[in-house]
Homo-oligomer: A and B are copies of this chain.
Amino acid sequence: MVDTAERAAEQSRTSTPVVDAAEHEAAAAAAATAPAGAAPHVDVEALGRQLLGTWAEVRLASRELSSRPELQKVEGLSVADHRKRVFEQLKLLVDHGQVHRAFPKAVGGLEDHGGNIAAFEELVAADPSLQIKSGVQWGLFGAAVLHLGTEYHHTTYLPGIMSLDVPGAFAMTETGHGSDVAAIATTATYDPESREFVLDTPFRGAWKDYLGNAAVDATAAVVFAQLVTKGVNHGVHAFYVPIRDANGDFLPGIGGEDDGQKGGLNGIDNGRLHFTGVRIPRTDLLNRYGDVAEDGTYSSPIASPGRRFFTMLGTLVQGRVSLDGSATIAAKLGLKIALTYGDQRRQFTAGSDTDEEVVLDYQRHQRRLLPLLATTYAASFAHEMFLHKFDDVFSGKTDTDADRQDLETIAAALKPLSTWHALETLQEAREACGGAGFLTENRITSLRQDLDIWVTFEGDNNVLLQLVAKRLLTDYSRKFAKADAGALARYVVVQAAGKAYHGSGLRSVAQTVRDFGSTARSVNWLQESATQRELLTDRVATMIAEIGGRLRPASKLGKKAAADLFNSQQNELIEAARAHAELLQWEAFTEALEQAPDAGTKQVLTWLRDLFGFGLIEKHLAWYLIHGRLSPQRAQAVSAYIDRLLTRIRPHAVDLVDAFGYGPELVRAKIASGAEAERQAEARAYYAARRADGTLPTPEKAPSKHR
């Protein structure tokens, strides 16, 4: 590791001259909050322990597994060979006892839900295909039997699932229905004569599709279908269905197709399944939330079909939890590569006749990568909070309806942000490494290709954010439920009056600025946690209130007109949900500051949190201006603060990615191995020697008139 104190001192010596008033103020403010004297130092090891969180040992054990060559991705394999390799790797996971954590003690599990997810997430560093295929087997297929089935299914099926004797598919999505699971068209019709369910996919769109394990390996599947008995459709239920015989041939009535090559994750055999009059015993309905008696009578512990459906789906939330965590790990790997390389690579002389500039010293390079680093820290801390919430619910520690709803809302909020963030980060890392970033040996493109589908599976990101928005709207309406009927309307009118009904709008904005723009307040104002929180919270609340007001007439409209009104607000709704999710991340980051191991590390993390917070405010700056929350002068200071933070964080960039704890055996990128540093040293030594012995040819002199 490079001496960061020296680097910080160097950085401070060469900091940019103050060039305007706003910058000047920002510099003064920043200097005021920095500890007097020496630049802060990051305790990489201690910060690393903080990042590992509650399930540190499980994570470290899983990383140890992920660092074994036999579990790692081999690039350039054919689709068939990659699939074979990953299937064999799943067996190694079984051998290592990696996959049993979440299962009941009665069948040899540990009933450790949080630890199970933590271990699973870390496998992404070995091969995302291995991770996701193990997720299909144990996190989807196995978890559906566990959470939707009852004791008979647990004792009968879980042992074979856990041992991989029965590889299985999770047959929910259909070609025609991905996001709208309630509308799937596969049916399971109860036949009281034979006491069997009969499964059918009545048309092409009803084929199950994109199912991991389905193309080759699965011998069974949990199939989601509309349960029909006595002429009534009781909605989507899950069924345990054998699909292939010992030779790997489809059982009668079952057929399928291979989804073929994909944009990534080619170690997984995704495929399609269809069913024509396939009969299974009545008892293979996974009957925890709904059952059919021998005579065909349907019963359920949950009376409302809607609530029953969401309860069943809610048991499968762990997929979103683990994608949130593993996407963040992928972002960490990308930044570890790009920032290590950026700290060694040099290009162009600028401030010297001989030495080229280190690429990461360029402002643009910092602007491209350091905000992504800040967001990665925010996502990492938010994930730890999320995983605790998940563990609390699934361990039964705090498992009320409200807890489950909160968990699902957090899942629907964080999974979109972290998975999009991973793609953005890997792409920026790729570009920041130039041509070297494009070589598969440097890993970034491979990770990005595999992670691409993260934004779609386990809930399309846009659809999930819309769920979050609906929850926010519901909560908002509830606030006004006990007030008289006109309260919401009046509230919204008051909200709106301030912004758009007076003349040019400017005067009224000035009035609603409160005293945010007052010069009497310190320029440190924006750096206070309370200010950032107020700005971020206010935006979510105001957006939801505004949308709520606009949707108010919907109750008086017909179905079609109401749908159109809702649709006219869809984009804004999704933006509000994103703002809510960003606030969750910001709160988690801010809370984590209190756990920082020492003052120096805390100082650097606080700068990073500020960079994250200011980044959010800068991204939505127009909103803050339009709504009078920031004066134009303050707004302009936001970007100046960000520039200042970049130069403060830059000397610690390598420490901050080293704290992620991924060593060369997990990073596996040649350009992050120190090879670039060696090349730079060799080149500089060569020129220094030739300058010293006078053998460097002199450059051609420009003719004087051109000089």
Contact = CB atoms under 8 A, between A and B. Distances in A.
A554 to B, nearest CB: 10
Contacts of A565: 16-17, 19
Given A180-B348, A559-B351, A445 B505 contact: no
Given A352-B559, A699-B233, A509 B183 contact: no
A456 to B, nearest CB: 6
A706 B306 CA distance: 9
Contact of A367 (B205, B503, B571): B571
B567 A439 contact: no
Contact of A263 (B203, B306, B446): B446
A507 B636 CA distance: 15
B633 A439 contact: no
Given A76-B261, A440-B263, A561-B17, A364 B462 contact: yes
Interface stretch (A143-151, A321-329, A680-688): A680-688
A202 B702 contact: no
Interface residues of A, number: 146
B79 A233 contact: no
A301 interface: no
A519 interface: yes
A33 interface: no
Contacts of A178: 347, 434-435
Given A20-B500, A264-B445, A698 B175 contact: no
Interface stretch (A34-42, A423-431, A483-491): A423-431
B568 A698 contact: no
Contacts of A205: 679-680, 682-683
A153 interface: no
A401 B22 CA distance: 41
A626 interface: yes
A362 interface: yes
A499 interface: yes
A468 interface: no
B574 A364 contact: yes
A700 interface: yes
A563 interface: yes
Contacts of A203: 679, 682-683, 686
B352 A500 contact: no
Contact of A564 (B16, B175, B434, B622): B16
A392 interface: no
Contact of A175 (B452, B455, B679): B679
A634 B506 CA distance: 10
A449 B636 CA distance: 38
Interface stretch (A124-132, A242-250, A510-518): A510-518
A563 B358 CA distance: 13
A530 interface: no
Contacts of A559: 351-353
A242 to B, nearest CB: 25
Interface string A451-464: 01101110011100
B261 A567 contact: no
Contacts of A285: none
Given A185-B683, A210-B435, A350-B566, 14 more contacts: A14-B564, A19-B553, A76-B261, A78-B78, A178-B434, A204-B678, A233-B700, A263-B439, A263-B449, A306-B706, A362-B570, A423-B427, A500-B636, A622-B622
6 contacts: A20-B550, A21-B500, A183-B349, A233-B699, A350-B563, A364-B466
